Amino acid sequence: MGRGLRKPVVVGVINAFVLIALVVVLEVGFRAYYFSKLTDYAYGIQYRLEKICNSGKAPEFLCDWLPTESRVLSGRIEAIRPGLVALNAVFENAPQHESKILVDMHNTPLTRPHPDLGYELRPDTQVDAYMLRSGKAMNLDPPVLYLPRQATALPSDVLAFIDSETRLAYSYTIGSQGHRTTLPAIQSGRRVLIVGDSVAFGVGVDDNHTMASALQQRLGDEMQVINAGVGGYDGYQAWKVAKGLAEGESFDTLVYLACQNDFFSKEQDAVTVGRAVTEKFASLRYKFGGNLVIVLETYMEYSLRDLFQGNYRSWSKDRIRQTDELRSAMANWAGELGFKLVDWHEIVQDHMRLEKSIFSRFGLYADHAHLSPLGNRLMADAVYKVIADR
């Protein structure tokens, strides 16, 4: 063997021995617990890097090796891209930089601009939604395809894509008053107004499976439920909606379905923001017969944190701490400010104990934040009990 070939071989053998030695040292020096932690940290870094890459804010060379949802999704839709664009299709949980059809859900045919709120629901609108297969494991917030309801049949290639890629299908209907349709349709002089964000709106379920519809089914024709929830609204926007509707209409009860992210801010802690928003809602009580119910809904990452602890889906200790403090503070404010509190996290834990399965809690969510038909029914049961017991 010539000297020119001998040197690379020797270097390769040395590198191999060094690598084997490092593996042996790691196996001997660390227990399985630390390997698990190291793996979790690595997944955590990858998860956060994927979010940055999906936003289009990272340089391409940094993202080329990642199986980001955008890259996987774009590969599947490339052949039918013109048809989707023509249909005004919208993808949620997918980035904008890959295609002009991958846009923010709040800029869809569901909404229109509003001078004070930023945007509002567009009246007389129907949208069909398809939750797609994800290109990533353990994706609790998978991509969703939204298509405005079509007067004619969909193109065959789009239908084939939907048939092959869809896991769940559902639809949204916005009525003439600009509210999500609540079923069954009831007319009553006594009315319940529900405000909030996408959890109140009912992302992930059909019209008849929202929390508002589940509450209407419990109330029967005794009271009419109005669902004024709008995806993406924070607590202040929800308060403005309630205030505006109460000035021109009569309601018996106000229900503010507060998702915990209504109160998370970079400038202030969740308790400070939560107190300010809660005081504003409490100031509206007299316009609703003194009847205010606040429902505090928590994400899957919080209410199932015992299953996510230490892996890349787990929340930071600070985020969990703020949610703990917010739940405790809300319970104290209820008596002081005169509202009834429904704590979703307690409902989730009660359901687990009733079903005697730690995994039963997954069935209460449509994704990591929004509720399934069963979850909405359980929440509606709790709200109904408050209304019935007053």
Give the model confidence (pLDDT) of 250-266 as tens digits: 999 999 999 999 999 88
Q: Does some domain include residue 135? A: yes
For the segment 112-126, the average pLDDT, to the nearest whole number, is 95
Run of H or E including 227: strand 224-227
Residue closest to 230 by CA, chosen among 116, 89, 119: 119
- How many structural domains does the chain have? 3
Q: How confident is the model at residue 182 (pLDDT cuts 50, 70, 90)?
A: very high
Burial of 336: CB neighbours in 10 Å, binned 0-12, 13-18, 19+? exposed
Residues 145 and 214 both lie in one domain: no
What does the alpha-carbon distance between residue 246 and residue 277 come to, in Å, rounded to a whole number?
A: 17
Structure tokens at 200: 């109140």
Q: Check residue 360 and report its DSSP letter.
A: G
* CATH number of the domain where residue 285 is located: 3.40.50.1110
Q: Does some domain include residue 11? A: no
Give the model confidence (pLDDT) of 206-228 as tens digits: 999 999 999 999 999 999 999 99
Q: Please spell the DSSP secondary structure of 103-133, one letter per residue.
A: --GGGSTTEEEETTTEEEEPSSEEEEEEEEP
Residues 163 and 109 both lie in one domain: yes
pTM over 0.85: no
Tell me the residue range of the domain where 138 lies: 69-173
Q: In what order do the strands lie in the sheet with 253-259?
A: 224-227, 191-196, 253-259, 292-297, 340-343
Q: Does some domain include residue 120? A: yes
Give the model confidence (pLDDT) of 5-25 as tens digits: 455 555 556 666 666 766 665
Q: Does some domain include residue 16? A: no
